[in-house]
Structure 1
Amino acid sequence: MTEDTAQPTPRRKTISSPYIHRLQRRHFLLFDVLPIIGTAAAFAFLLVRPFGVLELALLFLMWLVTGLGVTVGYHRLFTHRTFKAAPWVAELLAVLGSMAGQGGVLSWVALHRRHHEYSDREGDPHSPNLSGGGLAGAIRGLAHAHFLWMRRHEYPNIVHYAPDLIKDRRLVRVARLYYYWVALGLLVPAVLGGVLSMSWTGAVSGLLWGGFVRIFVLEHIVWAINSFLHMFGTRPYESRENSHNGGIFALVTLGESWHNNHHAFPESPSFGLDWYRLDPGYWLIRLFAACGLASELKVPSQARMSAKRIA
């Protein structure tokens, strides 16, 4: 075959190597297993300092801002490009999402785009529906999708899945500092706890409740969408995978539990789609738009939603 007729080598969609698997195991231990230990330590520390208003406020505040960083920043802005944001808003959302400890923004986006490409089929990194039939298969699938898949998996090629993001120098700079942002997410509640209580016990309690417990809670909320909402819930819209809505969890998931809606219309910044379906992530995007900080919100038309409605 001559050079003129040679076909270019297709770009690899995934990368698998011992080095990457070591990084995955390290991340799994640091940011998936360690928060479990930190949560246990938080309850043990109640013997030293009771849970009070300060701990509740730090847990809630840190959960809210990092959770919005994930749903509005990582998911709706960077993965699906459902709206455009002012550069400083995009950077802030990327930092807050990084503080959640769920992976750097580029890796998170690449994984989620691959999930949508292969959702509930071979190639989906965290489907609960590919582990066999019956009760045993369902339990294996839920355990895999909820938690265990992160120990070791094929790494999606960022050059293939996120070529738009690697052209953004600001975003790449944020991604390179991922571990520092996670550390900042632990430092902030520790400092606030210490300063507001003027005690070392307040600093430790802030670290535990606003740091480790917050990461633990937010992680399991997000993972439950990957696992349980691909097996249980309602399906008002046609979609090729097994996604479901769990409206009862709309507030605690910041709107992410309208999962069938999202898979049916992944380009939409609104996951609830209707005004009466609670979607705090979309409320923030609308606030940004009202302040001139967001634009080009791609909400689907009523005609398009009606065409896909099945229930």
Structure 2
Amino acid sequence: MAIAEESSASLTGTGTGTGAVRAAGRRVAPPPYDGSSPFPRDESTGQQRVPTWQLAFTALIVAFPFLALALAAWLLWGSVIGPADVVLGVLLYCVTGLGVTVGFHRGLTHGSFTPNRPVKIAMAVAGSMSFQGDVIGWVAVHRRHHAFTDRPGDPHSPFRFGTSLTGELRGLAHAHVGWMFTADTTPAAHYAPDLLADRDLRAVSRAFLGLCVLSLALPFGAGWLIGGSVHAALTALLWAGLVRVALLQHVTWSVNSLCHMIGQRPFRTRRHDRATNLWPLALLSFGESWHNLHHADPTCARHGVDRGQIDITAAVIRLLERCGWVRDVRWPAPGRLDTRRRA
């Protein structure tokens, strides 16, 4: 499904973090965004309180890297990481990471291809095991990000606080993790009605917490079976569970933050959209850091379209297409790319 640009009227809608304010009982649109000023404050979200359970759960997710480092220091005191830990970690990183990039992102958010039912469910389950949120909420937030990229309404733009040095440093932290602690909610009924209408995806969304538990139970159980001890199980839980989750989270969050501030912009995007290509993240993100082309042509199934741009996600989509498990893949068309490429 292509993501259409929001009309100027929709910028004053409720519940989307657009900065509209009330005056004399009516909603008044904020002044046009100039591309450098801090985003207008959204009075509606300012009056909301983030539920304690939501703050606690978000804090737990964000704290994974620190928990992993503490456990690593304890376990590595007199011991080393084993080959089974590495293999399990790489395997689960690929499964859950591709669940996000192939499934959550290019498939379900942007409709770059149409999967059959088993693949659709498998993608949603794998992506949910990444600890990045339930599938419907993830898709809704990302579609909203594309509707308002780097302007008021974008839930995680690094330019929320303006383009001064201080503003960009605050914005970088906000785009990376800070946005998850705000009361700025994204209504799934507005941004992901197709997913809400899908019985399979509603079931996967409800199972999110259980899938997070499974994401950690699998390496723990595999480590126990392979190593035959609790120590082996805990080591696998650390490296293939906690560290794997932490690394994948921060790679994904870096696409939100760094890939809007650092890198190249060979393709034209909408006004104020500063999405970039950041090659150092290409392998770890499975091709998602070729972010400039993605924002220039959001429904394209391949993001790394130029010579030497490795895009593992696109390769997996190609394999699924050849197996007959996905169809209607929107591969890059040279003519369409030429119209978007900077002179």
Same fold (TM over 0.5): yes
Paired letter, 2:91: L
- The Cα of 1:14 is off from its aligned counterpart by 3.6
Residue of 145, 149, 153 corresponding to 1:115: 145
Deviation at 1:236, TM superposition (A): 0.7
Residue 288 (structure 1) aligns with: 320
2 CA distance for matches of 1:155 and 1:271?
Answer: 28
Match 1:248 to one of 280, 285, 290:
280
Cα deviation for residue 273 of structure 1 reads 2.4
Bigger mean CA deviation after superposition, 81-90 or 148-157: 148-157
Q: Is 1:188 matched with 2:205?
A: no
1:149 to 179, 182, 196: 179
2:309 is aligned with 1:277 = yes
> For residues 272 and 163 of structure 1, what CA distance do their matches in structure 2 show?
29
How many residues of Structure 1 are paired with residues of Structure 2 in the alignment? 302
Q: Does 1:233 align with 2:263?
A: yes
Consecutive unaligned residues of structure 2, counting only runs of 5 or more, are 1-11, 18-44
Alignment deviations for residues 60-112 of structure 1 (CA, whole Å, 9 cap, x no partner): 11111110000011101111011011111111110110000000000000000
Higher share of residues assigned helix = 1
**3-state SS, counterpart of residue 156 of structure 1:** coil
Distance change (3 Å), C-alpha of 1:144 and 1:209: same
Can you give the 5+ residue segments of structure 1 that lack an aligned partner in the other structure?
A: 1-9
**Aligned partner of residue 165 in structure 1, secondary structure:** helix
Distance, in Å, in 2 between the alignment partners of 1:49 and 1:172 is 44
Greater displacement, 124-133 / 12-21:
12-21
CA contact (8 A) 1:11 1:160 kept: no
SS in 2 for 1:164: helix
Structure 1 ranges of 4+ moved more than 6 A: none
Q: Which amino acid aligns with 1:266?
A: P
Describe the superposition over 1:140-193 as per-residue Cα deviations: whole angstroms up to 9, x where unpaired.
Answer: 111111111111231111111001111110110010000000100000001111
The CA distance in 1 between the partners of 2:117 and 2:77, in whole Å, is 45
Between the aligned partners of 1:282 and 1:21, the Cα distance in structure 2 is 38
Q: CA deviation at 1:256?
A: 0.3
Q: Aligned in 2, Cα 1:153/1:245: closer, same or farther, shift over 3 Å?
A: farther
1:55 aligns with 2:51: no
Q: After alignment, is 129-138 or 237-246 more displaced? A: 129-138
Residue identity (%): 40
Query: Which among 294, 300, 304 is matched to residue 332 of structure 2?
Result: 300
What is the aligned partner in structure 1 of residue 121 from structure 2? 91
Instruction: Note the C-alpha offset of 1:125.
Output: 0.9
- For 2:211 and 2:131, the matched residues in 1 are separated by 8
Which of 31, 51, 61 aligns to 1:31? It is 61
Q: Partners of 1:132 and 1:43 in 2: how far apart?
A: 39
Alpha-carbon contact 2:301-2:332 (below 8 Å) kept: no
Cα RMSD over matched residues? 1.8
Q: Could you tell me which amino acid in structure 1 is paired with residue 253 of structure 2?
A: W
Return the offset for 1:13.
4.3
Look up the equivalent residue of 2:86 and give its one-letter code.
L
Q: Distance in 1 between matches of 2:125 and 2:69?
A: 23
Cα distance change, pair 103–191 in 1 and its aligned pair in 2 (3 A):
same
Residue 52 of structure 1 deviates from its aligned partner by 2.0
Cα distance in 1 between the residues matched to 2:177 and 2:13? 29
Q: Is the 8 A contact 1:125 1:153 kept in 2?
A: no
| Cα separation, 2, equivalents of 1:126 and 1:231 | 13
Which residue matches 2:206?
A: 176
Equivalent in the alignment of 1:5: none
Alignment partners' CA distance in 2, 1:107 and 1:81: 16
C-alpha deviation, 1:12, in angstroms: 4.2
Measured against aligned partners, the alpha-carbon deviations of 1:274-294 in whole angstroms (never above 9, x if no partner) come to 464210011111100010001
Structure 2 counterpart of 1:146, one-letter code: H
Deviates more, 1:135-144 or 1:171-180: 135-144
Contact 1:49 1:201 in 2 (8 A): no
TM-score (norm 2): 0.84
1:83–1:294 CA contact under 8 A, matched in 2 = yes
> Among 77, 94, 97, which residue is 2:107 paired with?
77
Aligned to 1:213, what secondary structure does the other structure show? helix
